[in-house]
Every structure is written in structure tokens, then in C-alpha cells.
Amino acid sequence: MGASGCGKSHYVKSQIRKAKPQRLIIWDAREEYGDFAKPTTSLADVLGGLRSGKRVKLAYRPKTMDEKVLRAKFETLCKIIFAAGNVTFIAEELSDVTSPSWAPGPWRQISTQGRHRKLTVYGTSQRPASIDKHFLGNATHVRTHRLNYQADRQALAQFLDISVDRVVALKGYEFIQKDMRDAVLTAG
């Protein structure tokens, strides 16, 4: 989580470079992953790639400004990924496609049951107070960089169980991260 330019995508890419997943699908609405995976605007390509059983690295670009269409495309992508299983899925800017009280059913399924489908999921947002609550609630790791809005700082302080002052103090590319299973905090 973090404001624009704080290093979210940079961090996610560094993790993927280490993990080298065989099956990588990216919700790349902001079109930042062209250097990283093959861009496509076709959900059929994603489906075909995952059905092929081969190595697949696709950056799916919805190419629409219409919010309803954007959400429908995200929902379909999530449905394909959940059904396929065994995928590393990067979902960039979740506040475009979810809200605190609403998320597409297949995204909820990914958040709550994804582990059983062998899904590894990275979600990013500039406005974490505006995203679906189940996502952070089910995360293995929660990481925040600097945040510009008070509601977002408070939301992250609450999730990380730290004082909001520590979140307010973040600057540049600094972060605080919590391993939710072992309750270990790291900062850097």
C-alpha cells in the first residue's frame, strides 16, 4: 500500500524476479508491466495461456475508462484465475475495482480461499481505506509505504497494529511490513 511513486510496483517486481513463477497473470490497468510480462488486451489469451499448461506470463490490460466495464473485466479475470489455480496474480490498484463494502465475488473467493487453489496474490493500492476489507484481512504480509490521506494511514496503522505516527513518519521509499502469521514487523 502507498501513495503514487512510493515503490509499490518496484517491490512487487523484485519479489517476482526472485520467485520466478511459472504462471504469472497481472491486472495491469495502469500499464506498468510491459517490461515484465507480455501485454494482452484479451481475456481469451489469459484463458488459453492458463489452459495450455505451459509457462505463461501475461499483463492483462483492460483498456477502458468505463467503471462498470472495468469491474466486469476484473471479475472475469478473477474467475479465470480462481478456476485455473496455481497462479501468481498481481492486482494493481484495487481501489479501481473494489470498495470497502463491495468486491466481485471471484475476487472475494481469491482473497478468502486462494491459498487452497495455490494462488499467490499481490494487491496494491494508493488508497487502502477504499479497498475491499477482506483482502488485507486475509493477507499473509501487509506492507505500507508513505500514504497521503489520514484515513489510509489510520487503516494501515490498525492492520499493522502500530501507532499511526509511525505510518505518518514514512517518507521516500521507506516501508513498514508485517508478517501476519508470526506478527513480525520489519521496516526499511
Give residues in contact with Mg ion (CB under 5 A).
8-9
Instruction: State the residue for C-alpha cell 521509499.
Output: 173
Cβ 4 to Mg ion shortest distance, Å: 7
Chain centroid to CA 81: how far?
14
Cβ 74 to ligand ADP shortest distance, Å: 18
Q: Segment near ligand ADP (CB under 6 A), from 8-16, 47-55, 96-104, 113-121? A: 8-16
Nearest residue to ligand ADP, using CB? 7
Q: Which does 105 bind (CB under 5 to 8 A by kind): Mg ion, ligand ADP, none?
A: none
Q: Between residues 36 and 159, which has the closer beta carbon with respect to Mg ion?
A: 36
- Assigned C-alpha cell, 126: 494508493
Q: Which secondary structure element, helix H or strand E, spans residue 59, and what is its range?
A: strand 56-60
Q: Which does 6 bind (CB under 5 to 8 A by kind): ligand ADP, Mg ion, none?
A: ligand ADP
Q: Comparing C-alpha atoms, which of 32, 42, 40 is closest to residue 7? A: 32
Instruction: State the residue for C-alpha cell 489510509.
Output: 152
Q: Comparing C-alpha atoms, which of 85, 84, 81, 91 is closest to residue 32? A: 91
Q: Which positions touch ligand ADP (CB under 6 A)?
A: 2, 4-10, 173
